[in-house]
Each structure stands twice: as structure tokens, then as C-alpha cells.
Structure 1
């Protein structure tokens, strides 16, 4: 497939040619597409580009400070499959560096119910003055708070994490320097990230400082940061000792980290005009293991006790876009690893009938 863009291949133009069998050595992204088909075929969803969709030696943006960040082959050399297959709203377009069609899903925004969602590419220039920065700034300035009182920002590499992902430290510092002021100035409510295969929720953050440690509060002027990379990709025990990695440092949980999960699971968003609630649901038991509730300053009592509202809570809560919260966790955590590297040497190519997994 790498000889041609993804949307020029026979399998792409005539999917009926690939019907009752798969090749054992298909790329991980193709296998993943089969796995998500039951949901993807019936549920609208949006994607957010990460290192496994973008990073390759020929990628366009390689700042000097990111020599240790964008130096791998995480993209798998799959000729821009994610760009060709998942077209999102907006018109952001950059060369992929692989000969595939320019991508149009780098950064964009949508409204869903009472929430304005903004998506960015952490693999594309986001520094002050860049096209992406200017887009994010202009987009946040245009948010109609009477229509969408909450703003949820999404990207792949997290701005805050307490894991041992030290390689990305300089990347996080650059994001805090260039993007966090926009979040604070324009009232971003919640920031969702992936990359780390764990769940971790931070308090509302501004320049590494925690503004509120409660789990229910009136928006304090800075976003809550949540890493939701726990949907099902290989489990990274980022804050537990690993016998096979004795030299990897283990970082204690800082005070600004409100909760660190140790299970696979998904995130669920529920919103009304009065409040935005995020819940972390464990896959093994279906129970809510963590929850944060952010009250809109438009209806809350500024300076009052956390959780105090003016007016009654409506009976029915408005759920965001058909299972939107579940899909967010899947996309940022698992789909962000769209072309994950194989753990084992691929089996020799050969045809075999698709095997159904046990329920």
C-alpha cells in the first residue's frame, strides 16, 4: 500500500474485494479498524491526531527543542492512512511528508449540545504565531457562551502528567508556555489528553499551580486536565515499579494530581447548561471510579461554596452527542495509537478466515 496513497489502493476503492478474509500481516491500523467497526458503523465520532498517526522521519515540523520528541517512526510509514480515511470538519491542511494527500483533520472545532469542542494536533506547530495557534486563538475568541457555556479542548500528548514520560518534558513545557495562556484567557473548562495509557485527573491548572482541589466547584478560571489513555491499548504501569525496567524512575503522585487510575476504562461526559460532569468508568466492573463536576460561572455563585447553584437542576441531563464521552476516551487513548508498533515480529503474510472473538 505504501506505493500509493491510501485512497488509491484497490482495497480502498473496492472494499468488496476484501471480504471474508484478512492477511495476518496487515498493518495494526487495519486490524484496529476491524475491531472498532461495530461502533464506527453506527456512531458518529471525531478523531484527534497523535504520534502514531503522524511521526515519521520526513514529517514537516521538527523544531530544535523537539529532537527527542519527534525522532521516531511511530507513524509506521503507512502513507497517510489516517489522513485519507478520517476527514474531519474544517480546512486545516498540511503535507504529510509521505506522498499521501494532505490531511484535513489536524485541528478543528465542533459544537455538541452545550459544549464547544476544540481538537488540536500536538505533532504540528502549535507555537505562538503558527497557523494552528492562530486558529485556536481565533476559535476560542468566537465561542458563544450563551449557546455553549463549556469548552472542552482535546489533544494527544498531555500538557500535564505525573508519569515517567520524561522524553516529552520539553514538549509539555512548550505547550504550557504557548497554549495555556489561551486556555486561561478564554475560559477553557476541560482539557482531555491521551498518549499515556492510564487515567489521571488533575485539578484546575495554571502555571503548575492548583486552583481548586474539590471534585465539585464553580469554574475557577483555568481548565481541569484529564489524561484518558486507558481505553484498551497495552497497559502502561507508569507509576508502579516494573521488574523488566529497573532503571525507569517512578514518580510519586503530586498534590495537583487528584486521581490516578489503575484499570482499563472509559470517560463519560454529561452536560447541562449548569454543569459539566466527567466520569471515569472501570471496564472490569462498570463502576464510576472518579468524577469531577464543573459548574458554569454563569449560574454558580462566584466566590461561594463549591457546588452551590443559583436555581434548580433540570430533571433531564443532556447527554453529549451519541455516546460522545465514550468515543472521546477511545479516540484519544486507543485510536491515538492508530498505527501502534507490533509487539512481536509479524507473522508471514497469508490468508485466513476472520476469527470471531469470544464474547
Structure 2
């Protein structure tokens, strides 16, 4: 496609006089100089200057005519202004885009070539992409130079081809400009025509399903520009979509959110998110397959899509399923990897693109051979798009998940990058207070960069039996799923805690023997971040007892961008029956969906059975009321890298004490095991002052044989505090025997003479504190 310029001021910058005697740094001639040249008194050779000017005009006209007959970089400007030519002594011989009509997610190629080699000027050249809305087109408004949504470097070349895309249909047309840098100013050398999408701004996209609170319904949401009659049409045959449900629609504005950058109206911050449509297909039968389309009743519709309803509650498989097949679902958190608006957000390169590609392959295999696994849902455990104030990233995310989400219910929970618990103080879609427990300890409460849950709450609609997208529950086959927010107040007595307890009490284990809880921040995780580890203890203090008492089988989490699987654990102890049955919840942290890996390593812990610092996702296969198989699929190795069978009759004793008499709750973390204890003993032998307490305030002196964690006596709780002459540690920490205190880790290695930091964690999270000792 031939390039053009639509703005006269840009066109004048397109063609540059190659014969100009002025250097790039030389200023254009002033009006005084120009008048002097025209005056007979200025030079006896003024007739010669006139002759040169005539020749110059002839040359320029010839060049313009030749270019017009081949490839024109301008549209209607016939005369090149000498002043602009002096300003920018360079021009393009070629600036072409290979197509002007786009399908959604097309990638275009932009070819460019300078008229004459000028390598000194190439380093800061780039192609900028502008998203021009239909309203701007109607108003004949051209984006200003710096209103681009993305830009791609030409890598310092004088000619070549730049790839732009995949280009998402964001309800706009794309405009491309070739920009160079002249004396710290950006100048446009070439501009494409508008690249328009074949199906226009009303093409329904970002389709995703969700279960509702009713077993015979399926919700569908999608995004497009405004249409007259938004509907979903559906039926049991692809060619007979005879049932129709009308959709509601909503959107959100910049000032609906909490603060910048989310509230800043700019191409790379807030831009019009389109209309978000919401329809519910009703009177559906369990296990049956349905076909559907969404869009405008009289206009643009999506392709025909399909889904299958989950098995009826209490059943694990459909009538046509063979014995031994499973009801399955996918689980992961922390998925998206934000990139530029024209970058390949779904690239199969070992992160989020690979996760979704491998899930697609799993779904295609299961569809071809449902005798093994029948997938019924995708569970995304928080941190969805990582948009952090950029609307275009939500558009990309909707396309990233669409293949799976348009065919399986896509169920979400809220993470810190979706909500940001401190951001909701002034505005919150559920009018909820900030998080006092977290606030006290100053924990990252602005991680959504001002979005404060608004885009998540608008774009997703979960079952209406709790508190919107923040907490809710649903059933599939033999499983009950309870989803809660880790970004709201969760302590005993809070509405979230009360709701969760009521929900777990209401479960009919004869129908749904398997019970799963989803929460973004984990209760058990040994990734080496002391602050987040400390917060996991807070969650345990408020939730662990109740989850065990209600016989929750698995707690799924994310937050850490890695994978970790525990044993069946309660009160820091692995608890299984002699036959290997789980006697406590298993904690599965699958925050490995695609955002950059947390590579800090792991603390030592007695309850971690496996962990990987890499991307991947989980597959859960429920075979019957007692047997479940979990698999972790590595994105890097593209195979199952860890798996475990969980066998449970879901009837372990309730009301067990988390830390019974005689149990030492050792974390074995970051040197708390034998190595740290040996270091402590060495320091103790050298004269350091330690205080060691028994729970009953009786003193016990450590013996050499006590230092092996495998033979550590379990009749006392250890509390260790090193007294440093220069520290301001309050000695009352040592004298308080009502709450056991556990030394987690020094921040920098084992104990030395220059201890920098202790993290002292009491079993009561409200009284924990960080103690720093100076060098």
C-alpha cells in the first residue's frame, strides 16, 4: 500500500531538498536575509541568484513529478517549502504498509527506505502507531505527534521492514507514522493512510463465559462499540440458534477509578474501554453441548462458539463418558505479561502466551478424546491482566484468554494488582473499607495503580451469591468451589470471614465431597520474601483452623510467580493417615501463569513437597469422591513436571489444636534448621546472651543433641532473642510468655557479629514486629 500524508504540515516535512546547501544545524534564512538577496544593492550578481533559483525550482518540480508517478509520500502539496527543507535535510524514498484493511490480530509490515544514506540520523528513528477512534475520524481530528499508543524502533537502519502487531481491534483505526529526531525535536517523514478493521468497531470480541448461582445458566460477556440490540443467540445445533436472550451493557470512565495513572486520559492510560455486554443463557441442561453467537441482533455477530454445561451436581461424569474418565479444570494465577500496544502479547515464548497455547492444546485433545478428561472450567486465582491503569492491556488480555474463556467458564478471584486494598478508601465498587490488618504493616496497597477493582468488576460477572467478583461460590459435579478476596478484611468477624464460614457450613458433602478454596495470597508458601511470608502467617492465624475444621481439601493460591505444593498440612505439620490419606488441606500455589518469575529461591520448610521457580499451570482431575490427581505443566519444558494424587475421605477430626502441647512449630526456614541453630550455639559459646523459654516459663538450656531438628524435643516452645549492645530491642519481648515467638530469619545469611535484621513473628499476627539491629 502506498503511503500518504493527510496533514499539510506533515506533508511539508516529507520531502526534503537533497540539493540544499545548508547543513542540518544551520538555521533557515531570515526574512532580512531573503530581502537582501532580492535587492539589487545586495549583490551585483542578483541575476545569477535568480537563475539558480529557477533551475532549483525546475529540479524540485521534476523530482516531485517523478515521485508522484511512483510512490508519493504526500497527497496534495505541490510545492516543497524551502524553509522546511532546510530544517530537515532528509527524506524517505519509501514508506509503505503492506495492507490497509485488517482482520482482528493481523500483523502488518512497514517498509521504509531513505532517499540518500544518512546513518548519523538513524539511531532514534521509529514507527509510531496511533489508535484513531471513529469519533475522531468523524471530527476529522488527526492525533498530535505524541499521542501515539506505541512505537517500534527501526534499529538504526536506513532501510528495512518493521513488523507491527498483532493489531487488536480496539474499536479504532490504526495510523502509522515514521518519526525521526532533529535537534531534540521529533519530525514526521512519512504517514500511512488509516488502517481499518474489516468488521469495524462493532465486531464483538473478548468473549468469555461464567457460571452463575443457578445450575441451569451460563453467562456470557463481550466487548464492542455501541450497538442497537445486543443479544446472545444459542441452541443445541450449530445451524439452529433459535433461542435469544437480550444483553445489558455498561462501561466505565476514568473518574470511576481511584487515582492516577488509571484516571489519566491518554492513549497509554485510560481510553474508552468500549461497551461491555452481559447476557445469560437460561434453562440449560447439565452436561449438554450448546452453540452460541453474540453481537448485534441485526448486525455484527461473533463466530459460532460452543460450550458444554458441567455435569449435574453430585455427578462426576456424563452418561456417554467411559468409566475412569475425570471431571477436570485448569488453575493458575498471575497470568498476563504486559507489553506495548502493538507487541505480540500472546507470543509462545515460555510465559502467558505459552500457558494459553498449552491449555488450548489440552482442550483440543480432550474434545477429540473425552474418554480421559472433560474440562469444565478455568480458575484464575487473581492478578488478571496487570493493566495497572492501561486500558489497552485489558483489550489484549481479553483476546489472550478468549479461546479458553469462550468455551469454558472463566472464573476469577481478585489479586493485589486487580484491586489494591488501600486504593478503595475513597472509591470502591462494593463500598468496602480499606484493609486495617494490612495497613498496620504497610503492605503494598496501591498495586493496581489506581484501578481499585473497577475494570475487573465491570469486565467480569461472577455468581451473585456473595459479594460480586470479590467472594462467591459455585458447584461443578462432585466439587464445591469457594472464592474469596485476599485484598479485603479477612479477620474473624469481618463480613468476608462470616460469609466464608456460612458457605462452608452449607456444603452438602454427600453431593460435593470435594471442597476447594481460592485466595490470591497463599497461607502456605516458602518463596524467600520475608514480608509476604509474614503475611501468610496472618492468613493462617485467621483462616487455617476454620478451613481444616470444615475439611477443605485444597487451598489454591497465586501471588508468588512460581509453583509450590505442600503436603496435607495443618499447624506447620504434615498430617496423613498410615494408609496415605490426606488428613488436612493441601496448599497449591500456582502463581506461575505468565508474569515474570519470582526467582528469590525458597526458604527451607518441612511441609513443601515440591516447588519450581518457573512458569506453568495446573490441571485438576477428579475421578470420584475420594481420588483426585493434580498435575503441574511446565511452560518451559511443555510437559507435566510435578503431579500428586490426593486421596481423602474428607472426614478428619475437627477442632484439632494448631499447635498442641509438646509440639515445636519449627519453620525450618532460612537457617532456622540445624545450620542456624549451630550458628546460634557457636555464638552462644562465645559469650552472646540468649534467653530460652519453655511455654510454662521454665528454663531449658539447649544441649548439643537438641540441635538436630529430627530429634528436637517437642515439650517446649523455643523463643530466641540475641541481645546486642547497640540495639533498641525491647526486652519485654523476652519476658512475655503468653505468646510463643518464633525467629524466622536474619535477612542476610546466618548469624554473625553484624546482624542487620531479625523478623520476629509471634503466633498472634497483631503483635508481630520487625526488629532491626544496627551494625
Shared fold (TM-score greater than 0.5)? yes
Q: Secondary structure at the match of 1:47?
A: strand
Cα distance 1:164–1:72, how it changes in 2: closer, same or farther (>3 A)?
Answer: same
Distance apart, 1:217 and its partner CA: 3.0
Residue among 422, 427, 436 paired with 1:63: 436
Match of 2:630 in 1: 278
Residue correspondence of structure 1 range 1-359 to structure 2 within 5 A: 1-4=253-256, 11-12=274-275, 26-55=391-420, 57-59=422-424, 60-68=433-441, 70-78=443-451, 80-93=454-467, 104-212=468-576, 217-220=580-583, 222-239=584-601, 251-271=602-622, 272-297=624-649
CA distance in 2, matches of 1:91, 1:299: 27
Q: Secondary structure at the match of 1:54?
A: coil
CA distance in 1, matches of 2:506, 2:526: 33
Report Cα offsets for 1:143-176 as digits up to 9, x if no partner: 1111111111111011111112222244222211
Runs of 4+ in 1 over 6 A off after TM superposition: none
Tell me, yes or no, if the aligned pair for 1:2 and 1:78 is still in contact at 8 Å: no
CA distance in 1, matches of 2:646, 2:413: 24
CA distance in 2, matches of 1:261, 1:28: 28
Tell me, yes or no, if the aligned pair for 1:126 and 1:132 is still in contact at 8 Å: yes
User: How many residue pairs align between the two structures?
Assistant: 272
Tell me, yes or no, if the aligned pair for 1:268 and 1:279 is still in contact at 8 Å: yes
Tell me, yes or no, if the aligned pair for 1:54 and 1:75 is still in contact at 8 Å: yes
Cα distance 1:135–1:287, how it changes in 2: closer, same or farther (>3 A)?
Answer: same
Cα distance 1:299–1:288, how it changes in 2: closer, same or farther (>3 A)?
Answer: farther
Tell me, yes or no, if the aligned pair for 1:56 and 1:76 is still in contact at 8 Å: no
CA distance in 1, matches of 2:463, 2:644: 29
Report Cα offsets for 1:248-270 as digits up to 9, x if no partner: xxx44322110011332110001
CA distance in 1, matches of 2:458, 2:614: 33
Tell me, yes or no, if the aligned pair for 2:276 and 2:459 is still in contact at 8 Å: no
CA distance in 2, matches of 1:186, 1:115: 14
Cα distance 1:213–1:169, how it changes in 2: closer, same or farther (>3 A)?
Answer: farther
Cα distance 1:42–1:85, how it changes in 2: closer, same or farther (>3 A)?
Answer: same
CA distance in 1, matches of 2:421, 2:478: 38
Match of 1:316 in 2: none
CA distance in 2, matches of 1:227, 1:156: 9
Match of 2:657 in 1: none
Distance apart, 1:64 and its partner CA: 4.9
Q: Secondary structure at the match of 1:267?
A: strand
Q: Secondary structure at the match of 1:173?
A: helix
Distance apart, 1:273 and its partner CA: 1.9
Tell me, yes or no, if the aligned pair for 1:149 and 1:296 is still in contact at 8 Å: no
Cα distance 1:33–1:76, how it changes in 2: closer, same or farther (>3 A)?
Answer: farther
Q: Flag the structure with larger Rg.
A: 2
CA distance in 2, matches of 1:26, 1:190: 34
CA distance in 2, matches of 1:273, 1:266: 24
CA distance in 2, matches of 1:284, 1:170: 30
Q: Larger deviation: 271-280 or 116-125?
A: 271-280
Q: Larger deviation: 148-157 or 34-43?
A: 34-43
TM-score (norm 2): 0.33
Cα distance 1:27–1:77, how it changes in 2: closer, same or farther (>3 A)?
Answer: farther
Q: Larger deviation: 152-161 or 279-288?
A: 279-288
Distance apart, 1:109 and its partner CA: 1.0
Distance apart, 1:234 and its partner CA: 0.9
Report Cα offsets for 1:187-222 as digits up to 9, x if no partner: 0001110000100001111111221499x93121x1
Cα distance 1:258–1:66, how it changes in 2: closer, same or farther (>3 A)?
Answer: farther
Tell me, yes or no, if the aligned pair for 1:55 and 1:70 is still in contact at 8 Å: no
The higher relative CO (CA closer than 8 Å, separation ≥ 6) is in 1
Tell me, yes or no, if the aligned pair for 1:66 and 1:170 is still in contact at 8 Å: no
Tell me, yes or no, if the aligned pair for 1:62 and 1:70 is still in contact at 8 Å: no
Cα distance 1:64–1:291, how it changes in 2: closer, same or farther (>3 A)?
Answer: closer
CA distance in 2, matches of 1:197, 1:10: 28
Distance apart, 1:30 and its partner CA: 3.3
Tell me, yes or no, if the aligned pair for 2:341 and 2:392 is still in contact at 8 Å: no
Distance apart, 1:23 and its partner CA: 5.4
Q: Secondary structure at the match of 2:410?
A: coil
CA distance in 1, matches of 2:640, 2:627: 18
Q: Secondary structure at the match of 2:636?
A: coil
Tell me, yes or no, if the aligned pair for 2:562 and 2:591 is still in contact at 8 Å: yes
Distance apart, 1:50 and its partner CA: 0.7
Give the unaligned 5+ runs of structure 1. Answer: 17-21, 94-103, 240-250, 301-359
Distance apart, 1:39 and its partner CA: 2.0
